[in-house]
Structure 1
Amino acid sequence: MGADKINTNKINIVDTTLRDGSHAVSHSFTVEQAVAIAGGLDKAGIDIIEISHGDGITGSSINYGFSKVDELELIEAAGKVIKNAKLAVLLLPGIGTIEDLKKARERGANAVRVATHVTEADIAVQHIAWAKQAGMFAVGFLMMTHMASPEKIVEQAKFFADAGADYINLADSSGAMVPDDVRARVSALKAAINVPVGFHSHNNLSLAVANSLAAVEEGALYIDVTCRGLGAGAGNTQGEVFCAVLERLGYNTGVKSFDLMDLAEDVVEPLMLRPQVVRTDSLMLGYAGVYSSFLLHTRRAAEKFGIPPRDILVELGKRRMVGGQEDMIVDVAYQLSQKK
């Protein structure tokens, strides 16, 4: 991309290590870890720091996995060390409620990202409207956007825009997109709605940085990242890498790249249960278009029923399973085991 075409607006970096990264560590973050990571992110100049259970506030449950520490404690502790960034929570209507959002706000959250399946944005309208009335920064978050056309995404995003969303985030929740898929969706939304656009990627096809850069080149102003790429599946856009790439290309992020690198290496990497690499099962998430947070659930079901994770993920993809249907993973594994 030529320098004359570079977006001269500030690119806002949204770090979700303490939310999407929660999936990769089985929701085991401690208060001390949350404080260290949140404080380091704030010092590095990150714009928005998201903290929640991986499946949003009140996601701690038998279906999604229990948190080691109540997320409200993590939010409150992190809020005490965040001086400049917005402190955000994720809310999935049906898992979290407005009452839960009130509690998070009381503990220090001043931003919320309300996430729905790509065809169900209408169920988030009341949550976004309440957040705006309460003085919060509110984001409409469309998940699994590889499953819908650009036209459908525009249709759904209008629900968020009409409710007063500060920006609209498109999530490649399966890591199934290639750059042209991202370009088509971001450019369509930019052309149709006068609300800033954001993008959230997973690295299941090893394209998270490339896809996030494609989003920026099409005018996205908010990009999700995690330190060391810590997140569901093969992880997310690796923050220290992506910010270095943007810096090399002349974009303005306001992020202190060396501070972010040090945080990733000295604080986040030591707590990781395993390296965030593209293994066969995480690759299959992107290949089959399966929700990234299904990975650990699938590994456990595969071990229990003696079925290769790849077979389970292919079947989940055929059935077009989406976030919130984690309970079906065991059913699918059992059914496959009966065919052996």
Structure 2
Amino acid sequence: MYIDEIKKEMKIPEKVLIFDTTLRDGEQTPGVAITPDEKIRIAKRLDRLGVDVIEVGFPAASQGERKAAQQIKSLGLNTQVCGLARVLQEDLDAALDSDVDYIHTFIGTSPLHRKYKLKMDQDEILQKSVQAVEYIKDHGIIAEFSAEDATRTELEFLQKIYSAVEEAGADIINVPDTVGVMLPVSMHKLITDIKKAVKIPISVHCHDDFGLAVANSLSAVEAGAQQVHATINGLGERAGNTSLEEVVMALMINYGIKTNINTELLVGTSELVSRITGVKMPPNKAIVGDNAFAHEAGIHVHGVLQKAETYEPLKPEMVGHTRRIIMGKHTGARAIRSKLDDYGIEMDEDQFCSLYDQVKKLGDKGKMITDADLQALAETVIGRPKEEKVRLEGFTVITGDNVLPTATVKLNIDGQIKTAAKTGVGPVDAAINAIQSLVGETADIELKEYHIEAITGGTNALAEVFVILADNEGNSATGRSTVEDVVMASVEAVLDAINKILIGR
């Protein structure tokens, strides 16, 4: 395949480390605040997930940040626990006091940061960077150095400062695309050029302002980066960061690069972080979204049922997901038959055609049919009598404030058209009264039981009505109907039971 030919030309590493910054940069998502206890829960899950480094926060920011870092460090996790610090003495001391074993220190290097934020020249920035790294190493701590806004920094200065911190003892350098302005091709060239100046491992931290964070991170790896900063669900400042689940699976499936991530825990971890932060994932979110392995279109469903790889680049089980076949207007007959087989529901051809038509009609109305919906629809069709002595020809109902609920029903009874209008305490009661008045000459019918249930949540849920009717001769029958309208479902269920009684006489 084309991708395999391209990979032969790449000098990609065998393994990439994952530096998770959900608890630091992810918490900087607007509107998100994570308590120390919640940080501990997430950190434990990230440890199980297998990330190599957890950036637990910015210890200098608050006492709560320092406490959370100390508590997470005390858990004895397998992963390295990292604290963020500016190249300032107070920041570095706060991180050291948090007992972390890894400090990620940074300073802005671009002309914009030098002029407007720091008001420093290149020499001052370089000096402070070297001093910070030396201070960290004097305390026996792993040191990672970031040139903030590296992707808008002059290459010559970037190479110079990275080379200087390497000489000062930095264990790894990080290249942040702080405002997400890079393109994959430019990221590849930048990492290639930086590698000419340093020998220590290179990490990359990409933001998603143009939706390119994952692509830029992968391009950096292609150029030789050995570590990627990422967050669960791509959380972070503005448009967020590199999505951990996306970059890990792309590395694994598309590049054949190993990570230490237990990918089967990705969906569960995503859901935990979503619940704690309150940031819901869109259904079409890659890898972990509800629709990531959902199929509706008939052609796709047919292919997936025959061979999953036809429309799935990876197995859902690999990331802790499940495949879903969605019923809707694009659904083909094979998909419905497959679902019925899963439920153990048997139908003859006429019954199946009736069910298929109902699914299509509901789909045309914009309704997505869930598994529960389909089972209820199928049970309704199967329970329907083969012939009808009483058939609904028309039905209207009037109700509202200061209006006595009134139903008008037109029935075909043994070939004769009859119409009646009756009132009731509500529209359902009025409709049943009208039906009883019309069939009274044929059978004296009494409603014994009436149950209604919404199959799924939402105002557009299908209503399933179940009734038991009896006549004066002791015959009884159940009736069932599943449609969107509660009143119509009630009418159809009652007529279903009436036909069973009349046919069984």
TM range (shorter): 0.7 to 0.9
Asked if the contact 2:19/2:51 (under 8 Å) is kept, the reply is yes
Amino acid at match of 1:252: K
Structure 1 CA distance, aligned partners of 2:88 and 2:77? 32
Asked if the contact 2:107/2:146 (under 8 Å) is kept, the reply is yes
3-state SS, counterpart of residue 209 of structure 2: coil
Give 1:142 shift.
1.0
Amino acid at match of 1:116: I
Give the direction of change, closer, same or farther, for the CA distance of 1:121–1:183 in structure 2 (3 Å limit). farther
Q: TM-score, normalised by structure 2?
A: 0.49
Asked if the contact 1:39/1:82 (under 8 Å) is kept, the reply is no
Q: Does structure 1 residue 59 correspond to structure 2 residue 61? A: yes
The equivalences for 1:310-329 within 5 A come to none
Q: Does structure 1 residue 264 correspond to structure 2 residue 270? A: yes
Q: Does structure 1 residue 194 correspond to structure 2 residue 199? A: yes
Give 1:97 shift.
3.1
Give 1:19 shift.
0.4
- Give per-residue Cα distances to partners, 1:192-248, cap 9 Å, x unaligned: 211111100011100000000000000000100000011111110000111011110
Asked if the contact 2:13/2:224 (under 8 Å) is kept, the reply is no
Q: Does structure 1 residue 20 correspond to structure 2 residue 25? A: yes
Amino acid at match of 1:250: G
1:100: which partner in 2? 94
Give 1:100 shift.
1.8
1:234: which partner in 2? 239
- Give per-residue Cα distances to partners, 1:2-26, cap 9 Å, x unaligned: 1463524320100000000121155
2:178: which partner in 1? 173
Give 1:121 shift.
3.9
Amino acid at match of 2:274: E
Give the direction of change, closer, same or farther, for the CA distance of 1:21–1:205 in structure 2 (3 Å limit). same
Asked if the contact 2:163/2:197 (under 8 Å) is kept, the reply is no
Higher relative contact order (CA 8 A, sep 6+): 1
2:158: which partner in 1? 153
Aligned residue-pair number: 262
1:70: which partner in 2? 64
Asked if the contact 1:198/1:220 (under 8 Å) is kept, the reply is yes
Identity, in percent, stands at 27
Q: Does structure 1 residue 214 correspond to structure 2 residue 219? A: yes
Asked if the contact 1:183/1:218 (under 8 Å) is kept, the reply is yes
Give the direction of change, closer, same or farther, for the CA distance of 1:96–1:237 in structure 2 (3 Å limit). farther
2:82: which partner in 1? 88
Q: Does structure 1 residue 250 correspond to structure 2 residue 252? A: no
Give the direction of change, closer, same or farther, for the CA distance of 1:225–1:189 in structure 2 (3 Å limit). same
Amino acid at match of 1:76: Q
Give the direction of change, closer, same or farther, for the CA distance of 1:71–1:8 in structure 2 (3 Å limit). same
Structure 1 CA distance, aligned partners of 2:150 and 2:168? 20
2:52: which partner in 1? 47
Structure 1 CA distance, aligned partners of 2:70 and 2:169? 26
Name whichever of 121-130 and 42-51 sits farther off: 121-130
3-state SS, counterpart of residue 140 of structure 1: strand
Structure 2 CA distance, aligned partners of 1:15 and 1:125? 25
**Any stretches of 5+ residues in structure 2 without a counterpart?**
1-5, 111-124, 283-505
Q: Does structure 1 residue 123 correspond to structure 2 residue 128? A: yes
3-state SS, counterpart of residue 187 of structure 1: helix
2:444: which partner in 1? none
Give the direction of change, closer, same or farther, for the CA distance of 1:101–1:195 in structure 2 (3 Å limit). same
Q: Does structure 1 residue 110 correspond to structure 2 residue 117? A: no
3-state SS, counterpart of residue 58 of structure 1: helix
Structure 1 CA distance, aligned partners of 2:260 and 2:239? 27
Give 1:274 shift.
4.1
Give the direction of change, closer, same or farther, for the CA distance of 1:273–1:138 in structure 2 (3 Å limit). same
Structure 2 CA distance, aligned partners of 1:82 and 1:223? 23
Give 1:98 shift.
3.3
Give the direction of change, closer, same or farther, for the CA distance of 1:182–1:276 in structure 2 (3 Å limit). farther
Structure 2 CA distance, aligned partners of 1:94 and 1:133? 15
2:149: which partner in 1? 144
**Any stretches of 5+ residues in structure 1 without a counterpart?**
61-68, 278-340
Aligned-residue Cα RMSD (Å) equals 2.0
3-state SS, counterpart of residue 268 of structure 2: helix
Amino acid at match of 2:96: K
- Give per-residue Cα distances to partners, 1:97-141, cap 9 Å, x unaligned: 332232122xxx100011111253431222211221222110111
Q: TM-score, normalised by structure 1?
A: 0.72
Amino acid at match of 1:256: N
Residue number among 204, 226, 229 corresponding to 1:224 in the alignment: 229
Structure 1 CA distance, aligned partners of 2:71 and 2:266? 20
Structure 2 CA distance, aligned partners of 1:89 and 1:276? 27
Structure 2 CA distance, aligned partners of 1:154 and 1:8? 22
- The answer to which structure has the higher strand fraction is 2
1:283: which partner in 2? none
3-state SS, counterpart of residue 205 of structure 2: strand
Structure 2 CA distance, aligned partners of 1:122 and 1:245? 39
1:30: which partner in 2? 35
Structure 1 CA distance, aligned partners of 2:214 and 2:32? 25
Structure 2 CA distance, aligned partners of 1:213 and 1:121? 29
Structure 1 CA distance, aligned partners of 2:11 and 2:190? 19
1:325: which partner in 2? none
